[in-house]
A and B are shown apart, each in its own frame.
Chain A
Amino acid sequence: MMILAWLTQLVFVPALSPLCIGIIKKIKARFQNRQGATIFQPYKDIWKLMHKDEIISSDASWIFRFAPCIIFAATLVIGVSIPLFASFLRNTFTGDLLVVVYTLALGTFFLALAGMDTGSAFGGFGSSREMTVAALAEGGLILSLFTTALMSGTTNLFAISDAEILLATQFFLPSILAFAGFFIILLAETGRFPFDNPATHLELTMIHEAMILEYSGKRLALIEWAAANKFFIFAALGINLFFPYGIAQNAGVNAIFLGVIALLVKIFILCFIIAIIESTMAKFRFFRLPDLLVTSFILSAVAIGLIQI
Chain B
Amino acid sequence: MNRDNLKHYISKDVHVEFSQNAGIFEVPVSRIKEVAHDLHSKNCSLKLITATDERKEQGCFKIWYVFGAPTEHSFIIPYIQLKNTEQFPSISSVIRGSWNYERKIQTFFGLIPVGHPDPRPIILHENWPENLYPLQKNVPWNTRPKDAQRNEENLSLPADKSNKNGETRRTYTFQEVGGEGMYEIPVGPIHAGIIEPGHFRFSVAGEEIILLEPRLGFTHKGSEKLFETLPPNDMARLSEKISGDSSFSHSLAFCQALEQLSDVIAPKRARYLRVIYAELERLANHCGDIGAIMIDTGFNFGGANGARLREMVMRLNERLTGSRFLRGVNVRGGVTKDIGIEEKQMLSSDLAHLLKDFSEVMKIAENSASLLNRLKGTGVLSYKIAVDHGATGIAAKAVGLKNDARIDFPYAAYDEIHLNTVETEESGDVYARFQVRIKEVRASIKLIEQALKTLPDGPIETKTTGIFKKNAVDISVVEGWRGEILYFLKTDSLGNIERVAPRDPSFVNWSLLGYAGAHNVVPDFPLINKSFNLSYTGNDL
Contact = CB atoms under 8 A, between A and B. Distances in A.
Interface string B353-370: 000000000000000101
Most chain A CB within 10 A, of B191, B192, B373, B526, is at: B192
Contacts of B296: 202, 205
A73 interface: no
A93 interface: no
Given A279-B301, A281-B370, A282-B373, A201 B521 contact: no
B373 A204 contact: no
B526 A202 contact: yes
A286 interface: yes
B187 interface: yes
User: Chain A contact residues: over half helix, strand or loop, or mixed?
Assistant: loop
Contacts of B194: 201
A20 B282 CA distance: 41
A218 B187 CA distance: 26
Most chain B CB within 10 A, of A193, A194, A201, A213, is at: A201
Nearest to A121: B185
B368 A282 contact: yes
B522 interface: yes
A157 B296 CA distance: 39
Nearest to A213: B192
Most chain B CB within 10 A, of A31, A200, A278, A282, is at: A282
A287 B521 contact: yes
Contact of B185 (A125, A194, A288): A125
A33 B299 contact: no
Nearest to B297: A282
A282 B367 CA distance: 12
Given A194-B370, A286-B207, A31 B300 contact: yes
Contacts of A202: 192-193, 296, 526
Interface string B268-295: 0000000000000000000000000010
Q: How large is the interface on A (under 10, 10 to 19, 20 to 34, 35 or more residues)?
A: 20 to 34
A278 B299 CA distance: 8
A215 B378 CA distance: 32
Contacts of A51: none
Given A32-B304, A125-B185, A285-B374, A280 B522 contact: no
A279 B300 contact: yes
Contacts of B186: 121
A285 B191 contact: no
Contacts of B304: 32-34
Contact of A203 (B192, B298, B299, B524): B192
Nearest to B299: A282
Contacts of B368: 280-282
A283 B297 contact: yes
Contact of A201 (B187, B193, B374, B524): B193
Contacts of B370: 194, 281-284
A219 interface: no
A171 to B, nearest CB: 32
Contact of B374 (A32, A200, A282): A282
A197 interface: yes
Contacts, number: 87
A204 B522 CA distance: 6
B525 A204 contact: yes
A32 B299 CA distance: 10
Given A31-B300, A31-B301, A121-B187, A282 B294 contact: yes
A285 B524 contact: yes
A282 B187 contact: no
A279 B523 CA distance: 20
A201 B192 contact: yes
Nearest to B304: A32
B191 to A, nearest CB: 6
A230 interface: no
B193 A32 contact: no
B205 interface: no
A208 interface: no
Contacts of A31: 300-301
A11 B168 CA distance: 59
A194 B370 CA distance: 9
A288 B304 CA distance: 25
Interface string A282-297: 1111111000000000
Interface in A95-151: 121, 125, 129
B308 interface: yes
Interface string A1-42: 000000000000000000000000000100111100000000
Nearest to A31: B301
A71 B259 CA distance: 67
A204 B195 CA distance: 14
Given A200-B298, A201-B192, A205-B526, A283 B187 contact: no
A143 to B, nearest CB: 26
A30 to B, nearest CB: 11
Most chain A CB within 10 A, of B193, B300, B371, is at: B300
Most chain B CB within 10 A, of A193, A197, A201, A204, is at: A204
A125 B522 contact: yes
Contacts of B297: 282-283
Nearest to A284: B370
A83 B509 CA distance: 57
Contacts of B191: 201, 203
A33 to B, nearest CB: 6
A266 to B, nearest CB: 25
Contacts of A125: 185, 207, 522
A121 B204 CA distance: 12
B301 A280 contact: yes
B374 A283 contact: yes
B371 A282 contact: yes
Nearest to A278: B300
Contacts of B525: 204
Nearest to B188: A203
B215 to A, nearest CB: 15
A121 to B, nearest CB: 4
Interface string A75-93: 0000000000000000000
Contact of A287 (B207, B298, B301, B526): B207
A270 B304 CA distance: 23
Interface of B: 185-187, 191-194, 207, 294, 296-301, 303-305, 308, 368, 370-371, 373-374, 378, 521-526
Given A285-B373, A285-B523, 5 more contacts: A32-B300, A204-B523, A282-B297, A285-B524, A286-B524
22 contacts: A28-B300, A32-B300, A33-B305, A121-B185, A121-B187, A129-B207, A194-B298, A197-B298, A201-B194, A203-B187, A205-B296, A278-B298, A278-B300, A280-B301, A281-B299, A282-B298, A282-B374, A283-B298, A283-B370, A285-B374, A285-B524, A287-B521
The 8 nearest A-B residue pairs measured at CB: A32-B304, A201-B193, A283-B298, A282-B297, A202-B526, A282-B299, A281-B370, A203-B192
